[in-house]
């Protein structure tokens, strides 16, 4: 098939492109490289079935396509809060442009949404029918509400224009090719530990997250895209829950680092609990994450160790 992946030079997008090319598809990655990197797709650039188009998805684009994966948007608080207006525009206008292309070409369209649509949840674990507890005027609103609107657009194009859609709600994902400075907790802890710095712990570290290794997530995304009828939204993530303090202790143990934890104030609207209910994904897609946190951290730490050494 001919497949477009917006955000294809990003962390998740590059792994997805690699999988799709490996399966024999022609893949066009579209990325403005604001948070993505050519380095992430360096191994794919010589491949005859892969192309990188450096382009901002808020400007219209067109290419023949059978599938469109819409992943284009900064995904870490450091990046999406740097220019919050641009984040909203990318989520809204970028999604409209992708859906218009899908409507013109008859392509199936997958919207990469996020667990952030649940905000600081009152329901735990989070199920797809929970409508969330989001602060629309807080500093995270640009991303949270932008992604909520992108889901709305997908379903409205489905109802109004007949676009075949899939919506994935992605929970915390980690692995090689995360940016060193992306501000997400896994990369923060690993980089700080490898540099011999104190690990920054927000509050007491009692807030919880569930961490999904990127290969497992890509399994879920491709399975959802190729499901014959499931539109979603579908939660994709690992349901095993850890406190942030437990994560810090694992990183210190695996890196062999003995550094203190530096406590700082909790960010505004930081969720206290985050864990996906993946009953729907397991039933409809056969989705069951297979890579445990310890194994995934070993692989991710090895990647960052090499990156920091070369830098």
168 near 234, Cβ under 8 Å?
A: yes
Domain that holds residue 161: 2-173+213-237+273-289
What string of pLDDT tens digits covers the 311 residues of the chain?
Answer: 999 999 999 999 999 999 999 999 999 999 999 999 999 999 999 999 999 999 999 999 999 999 999 999 998 888 899 999 999 999 999 999 999 999 999 999 999 999 999 999 999 999 999 999 999 999 999 999 999 999 999 999 999 999 999 999 999 999 999 999 888 999 999 999 999 999 999 888 999 999 999 999 999 999 999 999 999 999 999 999 999 999 999 999 999 998 888 888 888 878 889 999 999 999 999 999 999 999 999 999 999 999 999 87
Residue 30 within any structural domain of the chain: yes
Q: Give, in order, the Cα–Cα distances in Å from 297 to each of 28, 213, 305.
A: 30, 9, 12
- Nearest-angstrom CA–CA distance, 166 and 112: 9
pLDDT of residue 249: 96
Q: Evaluate whether residue 267 is within a structural domain.
A: no
* Secondary structure of residue 2 in the 3-state scheme: strand
Cβ atoms of 28 and 47 within 8 Å: the answer is no
Provide the pLDDT for residue 311. Answer: 79
Question: Which residue in 61, 80, 118, 143 is the catalytic one?
Answer: 143
For residue 210, the model assigns a pLDDT of 96
Q: In this structure, is residue 180 part of a structural domain?
A: no
d(C-alpha 289, C-alpha 278), whole Å: 10
Return the structure tokens found at 53: 């188009």
Domain count, the chain: 1
Q: Is residue 168 part of a domain?
A: yes
| Residue 72, domain member (yes or no) | yes
What is the rounded CA–CA span in Å between residue 307 and residue 311?
A: 6
pLDDT at 266: 83
Residue 80 designated active-site: no
Tell me the angle at which helices 84-105 and 141-161 cross, rounded to the nearest 10 degrees.
Answer: 20
283, part of any domain: yes
pLDDT for 305: 97
CA-CA-CA-CA dihedral for 187, 190, 196, 197, to nearest 10 = 40
CATH of the domain at 45: 3.40.50.720
The 8-class DSSP code of residue 44 comes to T
Alpha-carbon gap, residue 50 to 54, rounded angstroms: 13
Check residue 83 and give its pLDDT. 95
Q: What is the pLDDT of residue 183?
A: 87
Half-sphere exposure of 18 (CA within 13 A, CB side): 17
């Amino acid at each position: 098939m001919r497949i477009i992946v917006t955000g294809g030079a990003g962390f998740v997008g590059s792994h997805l492109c690699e999988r799709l090319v490996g399966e024999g598809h022609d893949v066009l990655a579209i990325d403005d490289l604001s948070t993505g990197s050519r380095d992430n797709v360096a191994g794919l650039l010589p491949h005859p079935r892969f192309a990188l188009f450096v382009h901002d998805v808020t400007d219209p684009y067109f290419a023949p396509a059978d599938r469109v994966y819409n992943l284009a948007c900064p995904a870490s608080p450091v990046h999406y809060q740097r220019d919050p207006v641009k984040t909203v525009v990318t989520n809204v206008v970028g999604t409209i442009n992708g859906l218009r292309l899908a409507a013109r070409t008859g392509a199936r369209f997958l919207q990469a949404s996020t667990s952030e649509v649940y905000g600081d949840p009152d329901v735990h674990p989070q199920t797809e029918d929970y409508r969330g507890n989001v602060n629309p005027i807080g500093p995270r609103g640009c991303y949270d509400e932008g992604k909520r609107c992108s889901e709305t657009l997908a379903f409205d194009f489905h109802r109004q224009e007949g676009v075949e859609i899939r919506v994935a709600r992605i929970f915390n994902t980690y692995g090689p090719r995360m940016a060193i400075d992306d501000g997400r907790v896994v990369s923060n802890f690993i980089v700080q530990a490898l540099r011999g710095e104190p690990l920054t712990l927000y509050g007491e570290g009692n807030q919880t997250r569930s961490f999904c290794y990127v290969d497992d997530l890509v399994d879920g995304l491709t399975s959802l895209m190729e499901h014959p009828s499931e539109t979603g939204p579908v939660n994709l993530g690992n349901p095993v829950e850890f406190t942030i303090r437990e994560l810090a202790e694992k990183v210190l143990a695996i890196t062999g680092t003995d550094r203190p934890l530096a406590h700082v104030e909790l960010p505004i609207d930081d969720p206290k609990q985050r864990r996906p209910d993946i009953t729907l994904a397991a039933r409809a897609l056969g989705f069951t994450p297979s890579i445990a946190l310890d194994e995934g951290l070993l692989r991710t730490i090895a990647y960052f160790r090499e990156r920091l050494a070369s830098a």
